[in-house]
Structures are given as C-alpha cells and as structure tokens.
C-alpha cells in the first residue's frame, strides 16, 4: 500500500510531501508523486512522529465497564498515539506472563495502536515479593517497564532488589512515588486549600521523599529508575540534582499536572480527584520548566478511566484518576508550545522519542516507535492542526468513561490523522476502526 501525504509541515517546519510504502517512510521532499497512491492532503498541518504513552490504564481485564483495550486504543489513536504502555493494576493484576500476553494480544486484535504491557513489580501489587519479572520480559509481550503504579514500592529493600533485578532484563522500574505513611486518607494537595476544604492533605514531601530515596538507590546499584507522574517543584529539583550527578533516572509529567491546580477541588467535584493530586500554580510552573529543560523526560497521560458511579459520589469515596489520551497533545500545545517553552521538535522528543527510549521501543525494525520522521523509518506519524481550538465535550470522547477534567475547556490543536506503520488509524479526526 502506498500513501502520499502532501503539504504537511514535518516538526512544524517547511512544508513537504511524505511518501509511505509498506509501512515505512520512503521519501520526504517537495512535489513527490506516486502512481496509485492514496493521497492525504495535509496543507497547514504539522506532522509529528506517532506519540508514545508510558502510562495508560486500559482497565482490561477486570473493569471493562470503564475501558477496554479496544476503546482505550481508539482513544489513544484519536490522541495521535501509536503506542501505549498499559499499566499493570488490572484485575487480575498483570504480574504473570499469562496476563501480560493476554493484554498484548487484545492490543494486536484492536490494531489501533501497539499496546505494550507494563508488568507489576510485586505479586498482586502488594509490595511484598517480586513478581516473575523475567518471565514477563521473555513473554510475547516483551515487557521492559515494571511498575506497581497506583501503589508505591515503599519498602526500600524491595525497591533496591527490583532496581537491581531488572538490570538483567534491560528493564526499568517505574515508581509511583508516594510514601504511604504520609498519605493515609489523603484526598488532595496539602496546603491552604486542603486546610479550608477539610480534605486530608497529600503533602509534596511524600512524593519528594520517595524520589530522593530512589535516586540514591538507583545510583548505588547502577540501575535505571523511571519516576511516574512528577507533580511538585521539589521533585523537579531532586531530579535535576540526580541527573547532574549522572544517576540513570528518567521522569514523566501528566498533561493535567501541566495545566490544572488544586483550585479545581473547590466545589468537591471528584472528576478532579487524582493521585498524585493537582498541585499549586508554583508546581505547575516548575514541572513545565522541568519538561522544557529535559529534567522531566516525557509527557505521560496516566489516562485513568472510571465508571460514572465511581466519580458521581462524595469526594472521599471517589476513585482517583482522570482521562488524558485524547487531550494530551492539546494540553501540551496549550501549556508548552503556545507559551514558547517547547517547539514542535521538543514536543516530538518529549511525547515520542524519549518515552519510546525509556520503554525500549526505539530499536530498529518496522515495529519500533519513537523514531524520527525520515526515510527508512516506520511510518508512525500524526497530523495535527495547531490553529483549531475546540471545547472539550466528554460525551464525544472515544473512551468508555467520561471523567475528563477538561470538559467545557477550550483547547488548541486538533489531531486530524494518525498512521500506524502507514495504515491510517484516524482520518479527518475520526477513528478508522
């Protein structure tokens, strides 16, 4: 199959045509032509490499009422993603080769993005003994990222062993940094607002203490560490320090932590309840700068679908988490591109190249992700119209859930098309499956 994308601006730079054959980019240049090619007119649209998410909750198996691999894949494709890492906190937990292979196969069947399973670090996410990390790494799912996300690997000795063990697998431990003894009953960021609203506080120090501990451990044992959803200014400081010392640490920030603050908790609508919680404006500015600087390596959605009954409740009984896949690029455009903090190459780096590298998806071959837009590379790319602004309507989302914190907000940047190995998964803003 031959595809010709005409007039797009790769990385927002000069317009060019992109010729795709058999899943690969074969040429990028002016006035390309190919007989019999399907033509996609893309004048004015920015072309970027397909996005890679390090942190998605697809809820299958276990909570198919909230999301399935298929609906989550569709949401991802609509957001410009060509690969997503599916977190391990399903039911049953993805702590065996069997479960990760099941998730991987469901992703292949859906065929909208490459679903890359994350394996649990500990059996049942219980934080007590290591899961069979090697079996998951060797399975068809080829797991490289291990995480108990939703739970912190709080036991320092266990964390040390996990960091050491995955070195043999070329893996990485993605830590949900939350000291559990400091966050008992925690509901929102601890500060002026939590004091007034009477909601138990989630102190920034509970995140920072774990990150500080873990970078020291990673340094000590010479292992790779990845920090999930960094949310505080202090965390950025610690990461900057660790990176300056050469610690092999990477970090991600979510779209919501780039945009929203704890002010959203006023009114007690649990759509804004998330873990780690929305922080202050100072923190938002710090994580934006950290991302611009590269101290934070990647944007990861922490897309967390929840059924209506888990959100239409009192704040304290609601489950934490919010949708992200379909608006992630828009939020990054609003917070990073329109503010001048990142150019389009920067966006491609933080949303595609670096997350793919962290997940070890960037090796050669047709099934690689996070590769540049260049001849010979897999044709994973997206087309975005940066000028279009639209109000987010949760009812129009492809996700099975509706817990979008951006409902009613106007955001820039509409994903017009997404291609997975040359096959359009999204065209004219509509999913093709």
Partner 1 sequence: MKRHLLEAADLDRADATLVLDTAAQIDQALAGREVKKLPTLRGRTVVNLFYEDSTRTRISFELAAKRLSADVLNFSAKGSSVSKGESLKDTALTLEAMGSDAIVVRHSASGAPHRLANWVRGSVVNAGDGTHEHPTQALLDAYTIRHRLGRLEGVRVAVVGDVLHSRVARSNVRLLHTLGAEVTLVAPPTLLPVGVGSWPAEVSYDLDVVLPKADVVMMLRVQAERMNASYFPSAREYSRRYGLDARRMGALGDEAIVMHPGPMNRGMEIAAEVADSVRSTIVEQVGNGVSVRMAVLYLLLGGAPS
Nearer to partner 1, 1 or 316 (CB): 316
The dihedral region occupied by 37, where left means phi > 0, alpha psi between -120 and 50, and beta the remainder, is: beta
Q: Is 196 in the site for partner 1 (CB under 8 A)?
A: yes
Residue 306 marked as a ligand binder:
yes
Q: Is 55 annotated as a binding residue?
A: yes
Binder among 7, 315, 368, 431 for partner 1 (CB under 8 A): 315
Which range binds partner 1 by CB under 8 A, 253-261, 310-318, 321-329, 421-429?
Answer: 310-318
CA pair distance 329, 346, nearest whole angstrom:
12
Q: CB of 202: closest distance to partner 1 in angstroms?
A: 11
Would you say 258 and 284 are in contact if contact means Cβ atoms under 8 Å apart? Answer: yes
Is the Cβ–Cβ distance between 54 and 358 less than 8 Å? yes
- Does residue 193 touch partner 1 according to CB under 8 A? yes
x/- mask, partner 1, residues 2-41, rule CB under 8 A, reads ----------------------------------------
DSSP symbols for 104-120: HHHHHHH-SSEEEEPBP
Alpha-carbon distances, residue 46 vs 7, 62, 144, 211, 301 (angstroms): 9, 38, 31, 36, 21
Catalytic one of 214, 302, 310, 349:
302
User: Could you tell me how many helices (H) and strands (E) the chain has, helices first?
Assistant: 12, 19
Residue 221 burial (CB count, 10 A): 16
Instruction: Determine whether 283 is an active site residue.
Output: no
Q: Which of 39, 126, 140, 316 binds partner 1 (CB under 8 A)?
A: 316
Residue span binding partner 1 (CB under 8 A) among the ranges 150-158, 183-191, 377-385, 417-425: 183-191
Candidate residues 2, 200, 248, 388; the one interacting with partner 1 per rule CB under 8 A: 200
Calculate the alpha carbon distances from 380 to 80, 231, 234, 336 in Å.
10, 30, 36, 23
**Nearest CB to partner 1, comparing residues 270 and 378:** 270
Q: Does 277 bind partner 1 (CB under 8 A)?
A: no
Verify binding: residue 198, partner 1, rule CB under 8 A: yes
Stretch that binds partner 1, among 10-18, 22-30, 58-66, 266-274 (CB under 8 A): 266-274
- Per the CB < 8 A criterion, the answer to whether 261 and 280 are in contact is yes
Judged by beta carbon, residue 267 or residue 340, the one nearer partner 1 is: 267
Q: Strand 38-41 to strand 2-10: parallel, antiparallel, or no bridges (unpaired)? A: parallel
- Cβ distance 52 to 325 under 8 Å? no
For CA atoms 241, 243, 247, 248, the dihedral sign is: positive
Give yes or no for residue 263 binding partner 1 (CB under 8 A). Answer: no
Mind telling me the catalytic residues? 302
- Contact set with partner 1 (CB under 8 A): 187, 190-201, 203, 267-269, 309, 312-317
């Amino acid at each position: 199959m031959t595809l010709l994308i005409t007039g797009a601006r790769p990385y927002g730079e000069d317009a060019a045509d992109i010729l795709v054959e058999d899943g690969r980019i074969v040429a990028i240049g002016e006035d390309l032509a190919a007989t019999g090619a399907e033509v996609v007119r893309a004048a004015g649209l920015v072309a970027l490499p397909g996005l890679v998410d390090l942190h998605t909750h697809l809820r299958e198996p276990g909570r198919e009422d909230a999301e399935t691999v298929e609906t989550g894949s569709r949401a991802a494709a609509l957001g410009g993603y060509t690969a997503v890492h599916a977190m391990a906190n399903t039911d049953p937990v993805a702590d065996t080769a069997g479960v990760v292979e099941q998730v991987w196969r469901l992703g292949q069947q859906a065929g909208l993005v490459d679903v890359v399973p994350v394996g649990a670090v500990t059996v049942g996410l219980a934080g007590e003994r290591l899961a069979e990390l090697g079996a998951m790494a060797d399975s068809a799912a080829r797991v490289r990222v291990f995480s108990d996300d939703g739970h912190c690997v709080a036991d320092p000795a266990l964390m040390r062993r996990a960091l050491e063990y995955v070195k043999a697998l070329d893996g990485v431990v993605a830590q949900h940094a939350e000291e559990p003894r400091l966050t008992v009953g925690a509901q929102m960021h601890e500060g002026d607002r939590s004091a007034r609203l009477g909601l138990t506080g989630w102190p920034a120090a509970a995140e920072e203490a774990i990150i500080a501990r873990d970078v020291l451990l990673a340094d000590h044992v010479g292992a790779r560490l990845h920090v999930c959803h960094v949310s505080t200014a202090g965390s950025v400081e610690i990461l900057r320090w660790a990176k300056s010392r050469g610690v092999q640490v990477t970090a991600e920030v979510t779209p919501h932590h780039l945009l929203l603050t704890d002010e959203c908790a006023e009114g007690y609508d649990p759509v804004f309840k998330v873990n780690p919680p929305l922080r202050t404006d100072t923190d938002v500015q710090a994580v934006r700068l950290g991302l611009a600087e590269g101290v934070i390596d990647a944007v990861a959605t922490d897309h967390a679908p929840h059924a209506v009954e888990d959100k239409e409740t009192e704040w304290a009984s609601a489950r934490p988490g919010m949708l992200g896949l379909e608006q992630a690029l828009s939020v990054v455009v609003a917070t990073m591109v329109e503010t001048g903090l990142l150019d389009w190459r920067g966006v491609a780096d933080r949303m595609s190249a670096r997350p793919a590298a962290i997940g070890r998806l960037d090796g050669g071959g047709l099934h690689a992700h996070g590769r540049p837009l260049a001849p010979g590379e897999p044709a994973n790319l997206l087309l975005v119209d940066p000028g279009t602004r639209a109000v987010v309507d949760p009812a129009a989302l492809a996700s099975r859930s509706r817990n979008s914190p951006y409902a009613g907000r106007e955001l820039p940047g509409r994903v017009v098309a997404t291609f997975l190995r040359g096959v359009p998964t999204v065209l004219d803003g509509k999913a093709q499956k």
